[in-house]
């Protein structure tokens, strides 16, 4: 069944304490190439049947009203992922 | 409903009919933790506590509402994000913004309740994880910055009070413009004293809306209303929240 993927990230100006902890831990495993980490959220909305424009619009609205908090987060991506075999 | 004291011998003040006539609703969501303590705090103040269920849409004629702390919906998605869409919240938002009334409903959000109020956009800003990433539980000194709201009028301006603080997502954030507006309009209700426990912008512990009927804060006044249970085993500094709203409702202030 097709899925709509929604990616949400903290706004660039919001400090991400979790990402900061992760970037601090990476060098301990020898991963020294990364100067910053920001952690986001990925939602997968499964659709029974075809993803119509109306359903995609619903997903965008859900992303803006519930899946993200516009005070601290941006919806950075909404895309349809094709049916898996 | 009868209340069993947590420890034998704990007694409530004799009933004062005028105070008992004030009915304060306490909302329970799935995962709410501090509704029982909030109900008890209401009773200690002399008012009548009314239990409210998130899935109902009616407020049962209450005069004010407390949204207590806890982990509603397990903090899934974001703290307070799912609770914010409960049927009862729509009713509370309408009553608190007072579109139909000159007396908007007093609403107090404590901890998770504060998070729910920001998610509902009744209060600006948001809470993110503490800057040190740890769950923090300690007695916290707060300065009362605004003693003219529905929930703070029993305090003196600039008074320091000590109440418990316990959370992981307690870092208050908002953009600079919003923070400047909150300061300019006197809507910072409480500030942390003696060290910022979580990285909150401008040491903000609690804020109010412009009308002063909606107040939210991360620390827990309802855990500091009875000698024997509060900070230092004697602290009752939190009781002022519950007597403040009685002042508001009964016209004493």
Contact call for B173 and A13, based on CB within 8 A: no
Query: So what's the ipTM on this one?
Result: 0.84
How high is the pLDDT of residue B110? 98
Q: What range defines the domain where residue B239 resides?
A: 17-250
| Residue B10 predicted with pLDDT over 80 | no
Residue B176 designated active-site: no
- Looking at the domain assignment, is residue B108 inside a domain? yes
Q: Is residue B5 part of a domain?
A: no
Of A13, A15, A69, the CB nearest to B81: A69
Overall domain count for chain B:
1
Q: How far apart (Å, rounded) are the C-alpha atoms in residues A11 and A41? A: 12
Lowest mean pLDDT, pick from B83-92, B204-213, B223-232: B223-232
CA B57: distance to chain centroid? 21
Of A13, A17, A67, the CB nearest to B129: A17
Confidence of residue B139 (pLDDT cuts 50, 70, 90): very high
CB atoms A17 and B171 under 8 Å? yes
> Is the pLDDT assigned to residue B211 strictly greater than 60?
yes
Whether residue B12 is contained in a domain is answered as no
End-to-end CA distance of chain B: 30
> Does any domain span residue B9?
no
Structural domains in chain A, CATH included, are: 3-81 (3.30.1280.10)
Identify whether B10 is part of a domain: no
> What is the per-residue pLDDT for A25?
94
At B3 the pLDDT is 57
With respect to residue B6, please indicate whether it lies within any of the assigned structural domains: no
CATH number at residue B143: 3.40.50.880
Percent share of chain B, pLDDT over 90: 85
Confidence class for position B119, pLDDT limits 50, 70, 90: very high
Please answer whether residues B177 and B200 qualify as being in contact, where contact means their C-beta atoms are separated by less than 8 angstroms. Answer: no
Lowest model confidence (mean pLDDT) among B1-10, B29-38, B127-136, B172-181: B1-10
Identify the pLDDT of residue B232. Answer: 84
Question: Residue A28: its pLDDT value, please?
Answer: 93
pTM: 0.91
Asked if the Cβ–Cβ distance from A69 to B133 is below 8 Å, we say no
Residue B97 reports pLDDT greater than 90: yes
B111: annotated active-site residue: yes
User: Is residue B168 scored above 70 in pLDDT?
Assistant: yes
| B87/A69 Cα distance (integer angstroms) | 19
pLDDT score for B8:
45
Q: Give the mean pLDDT of chain B.
A: 92
The average pLDDT across B92-116 equals 90
Give the residue carrying structure tokens 């990476």.
A26
| Residue B98 pLDDT class (50, 70, 90 cuts) | confident
Residue of A nearest to B131 (CA): A17
Say which residue the tokens 């301990």 belong to: A28
Confidence bin at B253 (pLDDT 50/70/90): very low
How far is residue B199's CA from residue B172's CA, in Å, rounded to a whole number? 8
Residue B222 among the catalytic residues: yes
CB atoms within 10 A of CB A37: 15
Taking contacts as CB-CB distances below 8 angstroms, the residues of chain A near B175 are 13
Q: What is the pLDDT of residue A73?
A: 96
For residue B2, tell me if it sits in a domain. no
Rounded Cα distance, A21 and B238, in Å: 35
Please say if the pLDDT value at position B222 is more than 70: yes
Range in A30-44, B2-16, B26-40, B142-156 with the lowest mean pLDDT: B2-16
Q: Residue B96 belongs to what H/E stretch?
A: helix B87-97
- Evaluate whether residue B88 is within a structural domain: yes
pLDDT in the model for residue A83: 72
Name the token pair of B109.
Answer: 């959000």
Q: Among A63-67, A80-84, B21-25, B43-47, whose mean pLDDT is lowest?
A: A80-84
Give the pLDDT score at B5. 52
What strands lie across the sheet with B160-167, from one edge to the other?
A: B48-53, B23-28, B64-67, B107-110, B214-217, B204-208, B188-193, B136-144, B160-167
pLDDT of res. B165: 97
**Which parts of chain A have pLDDT scores under 50?**
none
Across residues B206-210, what is the average pLDDT? 97
The residue that leads in pLDDT, B232 or A53, is: A53
- Those residues of chain A whose CB sits closer than 8 Å to some CB in chain B are 10, 13-15, 17-18, 21, 66-67, 69, 71-72
């Amino acid at each position: 069944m097709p899925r709509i993927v929604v990616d949400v990230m903290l706004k660039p100006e919001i400090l991400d304490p979790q990402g900061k902890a992760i970037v601090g831990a990476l060098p301990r495993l020898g991963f020294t190439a990364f100067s910053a980490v920001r952690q986001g959220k990925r939602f997968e909305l499964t659709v029974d049947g075809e993803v119509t424009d109306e359903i995609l619009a619903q997903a965008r609205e859900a992303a803006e009203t519930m899946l993200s908090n516009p005070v601290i987060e941006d919806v950075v991506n909404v895309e349809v992922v094709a049916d898996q075999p | 409903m009868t209340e069993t004291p947590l420890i034998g011998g704990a007694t409530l003040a004799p009933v004062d009919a005028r105070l008992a006539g004030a009915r304060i609703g306490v909302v329970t969501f799935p995962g709410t933790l501090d509704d029982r303590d909030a109900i008890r705090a209401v009773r200690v103040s002399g008012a009548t506590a009314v239990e409210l269920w998130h899935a109902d849409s009616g407020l049962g004629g209450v005069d004010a509402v407390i949204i207590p702390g806890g982990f509603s919906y397990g903090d899934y998605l974001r703290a307070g994000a799912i609770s914010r869409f409960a049927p009862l919240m729509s009713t509370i938002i309408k009553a608190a913004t007072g579109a139909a009334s000159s007396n908007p409903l007093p609403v107090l959000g404590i901890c998770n309740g504060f998070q729910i109020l920001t998610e509902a956009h009744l209060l600006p800003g948001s809470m993110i994880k503490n800057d040190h990433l740890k769950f923090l539980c300690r007695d916290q000194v707060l300065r009362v910055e605004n003693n003219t709201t529905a929930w703070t009028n029993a305090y003196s301006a600039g008074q320091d009070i000590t109440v418990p603080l316990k959370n992981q997502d307690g870092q208050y954030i908002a953009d600079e413009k919003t923070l400047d507006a909150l300061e300019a309009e006197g809507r910072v209700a409480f500030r942390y004293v003696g060290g910022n426990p979580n990285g909150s912008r401008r040491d903000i512990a609690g804020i109010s809306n412009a009308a002063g009927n909606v107040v939210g804060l991360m620390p827990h006044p309802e855990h500091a209303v009875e000698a024997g249970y509060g900070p230092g085993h004697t602290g009752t500094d939190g009781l002022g929240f519950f007597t403040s709203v009685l002042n508001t409702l009964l016209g004493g202030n």
